[in-house]
Structure 1
């Protein structure tokens, strides 16, 4: 499962870059490693690889079910931030599922890494630092 999740994630995000222009696969790898370092199961690490697949690609639900099953698809759906959905509402959904919380916290840890944020313009960096700190606090308070 884990190898399939990584391969699919790398393929889906192959042409994408992060806010600093780095290959997006670096972020996915860091999130998966963060989930693992936090004691996550192989299933949760696979979700770490795929956490942005529904939000940022046109992957089918069937393709995701083939790798992480129906439960995995449900968690990936919870991790998907809707375009018109307030971010705090998104986090309120995430906090309802322990595996989603584990993946989202690993995502936030990587997104808020000072070395990574230092590559961004100051205004954007400061805005994101506040956003990520508030998100971590909301997830930890609700967990």
Structure 2
């Protein structure tokens, strides 16, 4: 079985030469997504590192399995991979059927929604993507626990913390507080 550092090296090689929408080496995005998943263990960190590998490189699920990637990690990667002809909204709904894939996509969405990254996009693209990601959060976040969403966004994009009450309602009172 591969270690997280081996999976990181695999992802780095697979995404070599690729850049994201703002011209940053793509590996930085997958590492940021993986960082948001550290509270959930190595399997989800691996899935975060590999979440775009099937979609954006010549790697396949079969190649990942042959390379020693744990089958559950590959399942999660497949769950978050775009399917030809599937609308984005349908993809998001499909992802929520798998709780681990949901967490990976929440971390991906949080990183893609960072204000410092969005600020580098042209205004029309920034507005279009902000609406797309906000709509996705409306489906993704209720499919996870508030605590899990909060753990991810605290790491990846603290600016989203303000949205937690909108989706989940106000935080409950601490234990022992009045009801």
TM over 0.5: yes
Q: Which residue in the other structure is 1:26 paired with?
A: 28
State the 1:68 CA deviation.
2.7
CA distance in 2, matches of 1:5, 1:95: 24
State the 1:16 CA deviation.
0.5
Paired residues, number: 141
CA distance in 1, matches of 2:77, 2:59: 12
Is residue 55 of structure 2 the alignment partner of residue 63 of structure 1? no
Contact map agreement 2:99 2:143 (CA 8 A) in 1: no
State the 1:3 CA deviation.
1.2
Highest RCO, 1 vs 2 (Cα 8 Å, sep ≥ 6): 1
4+ residue segments displaced more than 6 Å:
none
- Please give the residue correspondences for 1:116-127 in structure 2 after superposition, counting only pairs within 5 Å: 116-127=117-128
Structure 1's unaligned 5+ residue stretches are none
CA distance in 1, matches of 2:62, 2:83: 20
Farther off after superposition, 54-63 or 121-130? 54-63
The structure whose Rg is larger is 2
* Secondary structure of residue in 1 paired with 2:8: helix
Farther off after superposition, 78-87 or 46-55? 78-87
State the 1:5 CA deviation.
1.2
Structure 2's unaligned 5+ residue stretches are 145-179
Q: Which residue in the other structure is 1:75 paired with?
A: 76
Q: Which residue in the other structure is 1:52 paired with?
A: 52
CA distance in 1, matches of 2:106, 2:83: 18
